[in-house]
Amino acid sequence: MTAGRLDFFHILMNAGPMVQFVLLLLLFFSVTSWAIIFVKFFYLRRALSESLEFTEYFWKKRDFSDAFAKTKSLHVSPVAQVFRAGYIEFKRFSTPSVKKEQAGGKRKNFDVPVIQSIERALSRGITAETAKLNQLVPFLATTGSTAPFIGLFGTVWGIMNSFHGIGMKGAVSLAVVAPGISEALVATAAGLAAAIPAVVAFNYFTQKIRVIESEMRTFASDFLNIVERQVHSVIQAMGQEE
């Protein structure tokens, strides 16, 4: 190792088996975390962009059929997928055969199961999309909470070996102690290097997911209000026909 300079590869090759295992494990955590960070960053950015695009399109057109067709090109938008879940359930109840079957003899209560069924469909859609948004994110929390302790374990183990070697040789000097301890401390530095970006990314992604989830719930509530008005209009029209 060059004086005054740390060579990670040199340290890895000359460390003990346990410290090598710890460093390789931390390398796995770090590489995996960075891969997740890049994937989730672009995914959430696209999800927010497509959700905004769909919401603007929906309120501009105010037509369920056009909005449903629009969702086919917005595969990543959670709001669009929630709308699809609610619209499919709405269409199932809005067919003439179902309306007659459900409304026959019980016209006053027809709107209750319809609204409840659509509300459950929207809720299932929100749950499914939230789970999709949270995929891989818990690994960042795991990395942030465990990597420093894994690194600390490697450091403690390395220092123990260093002092054991000193005891076996019976020689104590800074030149003997310093290299072993510095190599052991690299494990702690590696643990922090893996944990800090993971924690920052986890907090960032969690905040973005909360924003998207709030958008889904707001849209679902607005959509359900529109459906309620339409269902009531259908009930009134069916009453006038009789």
pLDDT digits (tens, 9 = 90+) for 202-229: 999 999 999 999 999 999 999 999 888 8
Encoding tokens for residue 83? 């709308």
The type of residue at 199 is: V
pTM reported for the whole predicted model: 0.79
Q: What is the pLDDT of residue 117?
A: 86
Q: What is the mean pLDDT of residues 90-101?
A: 61
pLDDT over 60 (residue 241): no
Q: Give yes or no for a contact between 71 and 207, defined as CB atoms under 8 angstroms apart.
A: no
Q: What is the mean pLDDT of residues 175-197?
A: 79
**In 10 A of CB 18, how many CB atoms?**
15
| Mean pLDDT, the chain, integer | 81
> In sequence order, what DSSP letters do the residues of the chain get, joined into one string?
--TT---HHHHHHHS-HHHHHHHHHHHHHHHHHHHHHHHHHHHHHHHHHHHHHHHHHHHHH--HHHHHHHHTT-SS-HHHHHHHHHHHHHHHHHSHHHHHHHHTT-GGGTHHHHHHHHHHHHHHHHHHHHHHHTTTHHHHHHHHHHHHHHHHHHHHHHHHHHHHHHHHHT---HHHHHHHHHHHHHHHHHHHHHHHHHHHHHHHHHHHHHHHHHHHHHHHHHHHHHHHHHHHHHHHHHHHH-
Q: Which of 217, 228, 235 is nearest to 90 (CA)?
A: 228
Q: Give yes or no for a contact between 53 and 74, defined as CB atoms under 8 angstroms apart.
A: yes
| Per-residue pLDDT tens over the stretch 53-89 | 999 999 988 888 888 999 888 889 999 999 999 998 8
Confidence of residue 1 (pLDDT cuts 50, 70, 90): very low
| Per-residue pLDDT tens over the stretch 117-145 | 888 999 999 999 999 999 999 999 999 99
% of the chain residues with pLDDT over 90: 45
pLDDT over 50 (residue 3): no
Q: Give yes or no for a contact between 225 and 94, defined as CB atoms under 8 angstroms apart.
A: no
Confidence of residue 114 (pLDDT cuts 50, 70, 90): confident
% of the chain residues with pLDDT over 70: 71
Q: What is the pLDDT of residue 221?
A: 92
Q: Which of 97, 98, 121 is nearest to 227 (CA)?
A: 121
Which of the two residues, 241 and 7, has the higher pLDDT score?
7
Confidence of residue 26 (pLDDT cuts 50, 70, 90): very high
Q: What is the mean pLDDT of residues 179-192?
A: 80
Which of the two residues, 84 and 236, has the higher pLDDT score?
84
Which of the two residues, 226 and 163, has the higher pLDDT score?
226
Encoding tokens for residue 120? 């459950």
Q: Comparing 26-40, 56-70, 92-106, which segment has the lowest mean pLDDT?
A: 92-106
